[in-house]
Structure 1
């Protein structure tokens, strides 16, 4: 029986029959994505691999030659109480900020998606704080939290309550940061929800109204199911952003970590270890561990929200 062999693909040629040069045979999509890939490798992949490599050395920023220490940095990290305390502060901040940032963003979007007077002004007001740099946000809230003449404590005294040491009491240190962060960043989630609300077909609401559904029933049966994937995206992005908190805490407490280090996140601990204590190898071990943890959390969240749903 004759053996059938697959035909050999002909080399790429021009209409005149000549072979194309190698650079002309590269897929066009790869050429368009090449600038991004170069920057992605240079500023993400390479630093990540370098941090993993340095975590096995006693590397310092003082110019001394690093020596191989193997897993010593990793063993020290898992027994470092300061690292675990800062990690706990980061998780506490994430728990404080994620629910209000998701819920408030949705509520604000629902309010301004309706026909109302000066709707453009409300939308701009809700989103405007997100455009401010971290330094400006920190300065605003340092003044708002000041004892005596700060707006927050002044309001408390006017309604008959006692002043609180928002930036001086360890119990309130992370709460103060959470309040400032929610005010600052809720506009981003609000914008995502507003865009998603505008994509919900109006005929779904019309059909629900014909069936006699009220406002609450339309919200529960139409709006929230159609926003399921948007909510999943908002939750994933918000948790990742909260885990990477650094700027506002560092600026609010001038790099001290707050009273009793009650507001020091893990990234500030990494920064202090590397650029104050000059232990770059040990800081690389902590940052690599935290990076792996964020990747794992992202993978779990994407798996949970990957199911198909009615949301677009």
Structure 2
């Protein structure tokens, strides 16, 4: 038999063997794809029902005059958006929300970092400190808000009682336009800083110990190690915490609504409360949806700007 004839037969045999192998591989991939979709399907259904559909339905409502009674659902085009953009109450609520975000984000990041550093340095009773710092975060917003309402009580509250001990006159913290927003910020700090503390503590525990040992051999003290090793290593965690904190603060509603109902004089009224009242008190679902999407656009702009800023800083 010639070598050419043998090569042809060998090639046919290999081709005949490769074809079934490709079919088996294709069948296996198809089966894996079906199994994958079967696992994803429950989440996909819930995602479509509770996120995608409300998102699209709310967008449609923002172009209509829909009310809570189901009446007045005529298509209005951009009228709701035009009214929202010219509404001074909406803009004041937006500014209140931004102001609360600025006031709360900085201390929540700094205090969380200090708490994590104190625990990481080896304070006695580690489990007690960790439990004490994180436990308030486990409370419901209603419980935390009600606790601080009692604390701020002008006649019987602990805050005024402690101030009286040192000779400082007490205040009606939640009823005074000068102090209401700051009082809510303090409550929010006590309630939610435990989450940032936990993130920072986890990041600190992931810093290689060899870096501290090498710097100690070079004569670096605690402060030098803090500025040269610890804080730079915590950079990505800080970016994450700031981003999460800004987004959470922009959506503030629960504690303000419970503690001040947006007062006094509307100085603490956030935009989410304005959306809630426009829809469920003013019965204007369409207009409330338009405000919600304006606010959503503001959140997207802030998030994108913050992400670009942190990305440029990392590249620099």
Normalised to the residue count of structure 2, the TM-score between the two structures is 0.88
In 1, distance between residues paired with 2:215 and 2:296?
46
In 1, distance between residues paired with 2:121 and 2:28?
59
In 2, distance between residues paired with 1:302 and 1:36?
28
TM superposition shift of 1:49: 1.7
In 1, distance between residues paired with 2:28 and 2:113?
54
Matches for 1:258-269 after TM superposition, within 5 Å: 258-269=263-274
Correspondence 1:75 to 2:103: no
In 2, distance between residues paired with 1:217 and 1:298?
33
Q: Which piece of structure 1 moves more, 243-252 or 57-66? A: 57-66
- Number of the residue aligned with 1:283: 288
Kept in 2, the 8 Å contact 1:61–1:280? The answer is yes
Task: Specify which of 172, 186, 189 is matched with residue 193 of structure 2.
Answer: 186
Larger Rg computed on CA atoms = 2
TM superposition shift of 1:294: 1.3
In 1, distance between residues paired with 2:147 and 2:32?
56
TM superposition shift of 1:65: 4.1
- Number of the residue aligned with 1:37: 44
- Number of the residue aligned with 1:150: 157
Aligned to 2:161, the other structure's residue is in SS state helix
Q: Which piece of structure 1 moves more, 188-197 or 50-59? A: 50-59
**Which runs of no fewer than 5 residues in structure 1 stay unpaired?**
1-8
- Number of the residue aligned with 2:11: none
TM-superposition CA deviations, 1:241-295 (whole Å, max 9, x none): 0000001111112xx3111011110000000000000000000000011112212
Kept in 2, the 8 Å contact 1:228–1:309? The answer is no
Aligned CA RMSD, in angstroms, stands at 2.3
In 2, distance between residues paired with 1:61 and 1:139?
30
Correspondence 1:257 to 2:234: no
In 2, distance between residues paired with 1:125 and 1:165?
28
TM superposition shift of 1:151: 0.5
Q: Quickly say closer, same or farther: Cα 1:10–1:59, change in 2 above 3 A.
A: farther
Q: Quickly say closer, same or farther: Cα 1:14–1:264, change in 2 above 3 A.
A: same
- Number of the residue aligned with 1:5: none
**Which runs of no fewer than 5 residues in structure 2 stay unpaired?**
1-18
Aligned to 1:259, the other structure's residue is in SS state coil
- Number of the residue aligned with 1:293: 298
Q: Quickly say closer, same or farther: Cα 1:164–1:207, change in 2 above 3 A.
A: same
Q: Quickly say closer, same or farther: Cα 1:63–1:225, change in 2 above 3 A.
A: same
TM superposition shift of 1:24: 2.4
Aligned length: 297
Aligned to 1:261, the other structure's residue is in SS state coil
TM-superposition CA deviations, 1:204-261 (whole Å, max 9, x none): 00111111111111000000010000000000000000000001111112xx311101
Aligned to 2:265, the other structure's residue is in SS state helix
Task: Specify which of 120, 134, 139 is matched with residue 141 of structure 2.
Answer: 134
In 2, distance between residues paired with 1:30 and 1:305?
36
Aligned to 1:160, the other structure's residue is in SS state coil
Aligned to 1:153, the other structure's residue is in SS state helix
